[in-house]
A = this chain, B = another copy of it.
Amino acid sequence: MTDFNDLPAHVWPRNAVRQEDGVVTIAGVPLPEIAEEYGTPVFVVDEDDFRSRCQDMARAFGGPENVHYASKAFLTRTIARWVDEEGLSLDVASLNELKIAQAADFPAGRITAHGNNKGADFLRACVQAGVGHVVLDSEQELVLLDCIAAAEQRVQQVMIRVKPGIEAHTHEAIATSHEDQKFGFSLASGSAFRAAEAAVRAPNLELVGLHCHVGSQVFDATGFTMAADRVLALYSRIHRELGVQLPELDLGGGYGIAYTEDEEALDVDEVAHDLLTAVAKTAAELGIDAPTVLVEPGRAIAGPGTVTVYEVGTVKDVTVDEGVTRRYLSVDGGMSDNIRPALYDSRYDARVVSRFTEAPGIPSRLVGSHCESGDILVRDAQFPSDIETGDLMAMAATGAYAYAMSSRYNAFGRPPVIAVRAGKTKLMLRRETVEDILALEA
């Protein structure tokens, strides 16, 4: 049975502790103090958690520069600086993500640019900035980038995004001929080889590797090795037919994290070890140099260290079936600050953080304040029966794809984001106000 006072270590930030008075602190800062000072809802980021996951990834994959933080998961200037200070590389997937990285003085050489539809502005900005790698996603883009690089008198290092025909769902990896997605060049049809050939021949492009990404929130690591095996076969063909040894292999992101007590995060050390071993072995069998393996985790770095703190408002018991009652707990945020439950049916772990509770659990649903019945944060849970208006609840592992996908639905302003470290708070992003919303009016 769940002890509602626990903070499962594999789900909550590394520096989350419930004190003797029942209050939860992160990095020594009591969450109620943050709520008091900045209001609710509020995102709280455990800086050391974020940095330590950068370090874990760096160690596992043989050096920080091999790990590209996928900034789409969550990007601010501060985050870009942390990533830089930890020596990691950075993935951007839009011109504005690149601009935010530049605003943080992130070294352009350690940036990789992604996207299925980059556009001339973005590509030009990449070349001008001196971005390390551009991952090419279509023939049109290849031609366009070569042109732009020529105009800028540069040779741009590029990778080719390939579809390895592997689908890594959360709990299983499937080898499939399924190619029905917008990203990449098909391995199976030969179009990936043709793109590599075109890139090798393009005067202002230098092909340094191939890229693939098998999925997100992956728990079955065989998907990564299956993909690596297939892609390496193309390395061998490129070596044989084009006489080029590609030095790098980018296997994308997707490392699964635990959102709820019953989940277990992918063991990064183990996966990295197996993956690097497999790549070395396959390369040896194919008679090619083993490329350096690059990875692009977003969620596994940014996700676990952040919680969202809400204040409980309306508490309402609803009879859902003969005699069965569900308690609806409304909080002061919702689908605007976290669309993932509505969009992906994602599950989360939420706990009272302002005090102990000894009450038994009852069937409950945590809902937001939006004018929409689908505005649900935790669909089906047992929560202690003594939760009442004014209690603070925090939802764990909200660091990735929550703020990044946040909206202003119902004209809610985005919550502030507060970094905590060694007993101190630092405002990372301030709360949005109605003035920010009205600022767009002509």
Chain A residues proximal to chain B, CB less than 8 Å: 70, 72, 75-78, 93-94, 96-97, 99-100, 103, 114-119, 137-138, 140-141, 178-183, 186, 189, 313-316, 318-320, 326, 328, 330-332, 339, 342-343, 365, 367-373, 375, 389, 404-414, 426-430, 432, 434, 436-442
Contacts and interface: CB of A to CB of B under 8 A. Distances in A.
Given A182-B367, A318-B186, A389-B140, A442 B413 contact: no
A26 to B, nearest CB: 18
Contacts of A72: 371-372, 409-410
A100 B180 contact: no
A343 B405 CA distance: 12
A76 B330 contact: no
Contacts of A373: 181-183
B77 A441 contact: yes
Contacts of A313: 117-119
Question: 3 tightest A-B contacts by CB?
Answer: A96-B411, A93-B371, A117-B330
A185 B371 CA distance: 15
Nearest to A389: B140
Nearest to A334: B117
B182 A328 contact: yes
Contacts of A342: 343
Given A94-B410, A116-B369, 14 more contacts: A70-B371, A72-B371, A77-B441, A93-B371, A94-B411, A99-B434, A103-B434, A116-B314, A116-B330, A181-B318, A182-B316, A342-B343, A406-B407, A429-B440
Nearest to A188: B319
15 contacts: A70-B371, A76-B441, A78-B442, A94-B410, A96-B412, A100-B411, A115-B369, A117-B331, A117-B332, A118-B369, A137-B314, A140-B389, A178-B320, A342-B343, A428-B441
Contacts of A118: 313, 369
B116 A339 contact: no
A339 B330 contact: no
Contacts of A97: 410-411
A313 B103 CA distance: 27
Contact of A343 (B115, B119, B320, B343): B343
Contacts of A372: 72
A326 B180 CA distance: 8
B404 A409 contact: yes
Contacts of A137: 314
